[in-house]
Amino acid sequence: MSESKSEHLLRRIVKAVLLLLLAAALIFIAGSESVKEWVDTWLYPRLYREYVEEYAARYRVEKNMVYAIIKAESGFCQTAVSPSGAIGLMQVLPETYLSDIREEIGLEASPSSVLFEAQENIHAGTYYFSKWYDYFGSAVEALAAYNAGFGNVQKWLADEALSTADGLIVEKIPFEETREYVKRVLAYKEKYDELYGREELPQKETISEDLCYEWAVKYGETYHIDPRFVMAIVKAESSFIPSSVSVSGAVGMMQIMRPTYETDIKANLGLEEEFEDLFDAEFNIKCGTYYLHWLDERLDGYEQLAAAYNGGIGNVRAWLADPAYSADGKTLIVENIPLDQTKRYVRKVMTFYEEYLARYPDISG
């Protein structure tokens, strides 16, 4: 029986489709790596490179971290608005921009609507991430603060069930949204590094621990403070970076505040150096060790000194007078300290102190 025209046309179409599929399979097999690379770079783009590179360099953030945050926050949609009102590429909240960001980046007169502009949004978001990265020294805590707020991260860090001396345990972050956000951004960052190469940022100048210990011994002897405790404070405060500046304006190796220097250190020691001289590493150790001595004359024990160094001597005295925080009026119950940041700080300092006791068993160095 002769083949009809429709059957003949169908047969030709089927043959053409099969040939196309075969050709596509051969092309894919022959150039699968190229296809994979194309798909990967499509899924992990580097849009707005000019702005990302400019502000990543300005605030000492890895470019791939900025791309990873943008991908997680908005999928590179410049006009994105979240249910909570966060705007643009890096999903910056208008109230956060107005209160915590715009003055710091020199845009005092700019309304929050500028966050719909790619340049301003990337500028604001990169600065805000860098602020928390510089404060915590860790991408995990910085991302958690970017998503859930600084206060929540401080509270979680103060909880031994959620953190260690090294920082937050990602899998135990209480907010599911924040937990998944941190994991997602870190996964994206890893993929960007794999595709485009990991960027090695210039490291901030640090002082060697052995040199710092020499100074700690020198001024510890002068002011009757265990140099290993001084080392614990330095590590907790600045990680041995003399140029450190905190979000509250404390500076240097032992993160000394201007009022503390002017009132409790400079005046008492009859110093001529200005506040800015605290960026000199040895001078900062001298002043910080003296301040520990000043606290030690008024308090009892290194846990109290650590608490006062972070939370203020007035608070420590009030806690010692309250049965909720001190059973005998002399011993501070660290786990009951009401300021989460100070509780976390005391735990961290005492952990570091134990490490330095083991490292430098001979106090003479």
Say how far residue 102 (Cα) sits from the centre of its chain: 20
Among residues 299, 252, 307, the alpha carbon closest in space to that of 274 is found at 252
Among residues 331, 102, 335, 65, the alpha carbon closest in space to that of 198 is found at 65
Angle, helices 302-311 vs 313-320, to 10°: value is: 130
189 contact partners, CB below 8 Å, separation of at least 6: 62, 64, 65, 68, 139
Among residues 297, 300, 309, the alpha carbon closest in space to that of 339 is found at 309
Task: Report how far residue 153's alpha carbon sits from residue 255's, in angstroms, rounded to the nearest whole number.
Answer: 21
Say how far residue 37 (Cα) sits from the centre of its chain: 32
251: DSSP letter:
B
Q: What is the DSSP string of 20-63?
A: HHHHHHHHHHHTHHHHHHHHHHHHS--TTHHHHHHHHHHTT--H
Task: Report how far residue 75's alpha carbon sits from residue 90's, in angstroms, rounded to the nearest whole number.
Answer: 9
Q: Are 325 and 337 in contact (CB under 8 A)?
A: yes
Active site includes 274?
A: no
CA dist 94 to 72, 87, 235, 350, Å? 19, 7, 35, 39
181 contact partners, CB below 8 Å, separation of at least 6: 72, 143, 144, 147
Catalytic option among 73, 120, 141, 303: 73
Q: Which residues are catalytic?
A: 73
